[in-house]
Amino acid sequence: MLRLELHRVGGNRFALPDDLVQALARGDLEPTTDLVQVGVQFSF
């Protein structure tokens, strides 16, 4: 089985830039975060 999920999450709780202080100072944070998850399951 192959599974693909696409999510659009409001805010940036789990996706932070390398330098958070600089991003906050410049106002570069996006209002949403796009998330792609792929899963594979094998059964015999």
Tokens of 6: 């696409």
| Type of residue numbered 21 | V
From the list 44, 7, 9, the residue with the least C-alpha distance to 30 is 9
- Write the DSSP string, 1-44: -EEEEEEEEES-SS---S-HHHHHHHT---SEEEEEEEEE----
What does pTM read for this prediction?
0.51
pLDDT at 1: 92
Per-residue pLDDT tens for 1-44? 999 999 988 877 767 788 888 888 888 888 888 889 999 999 88
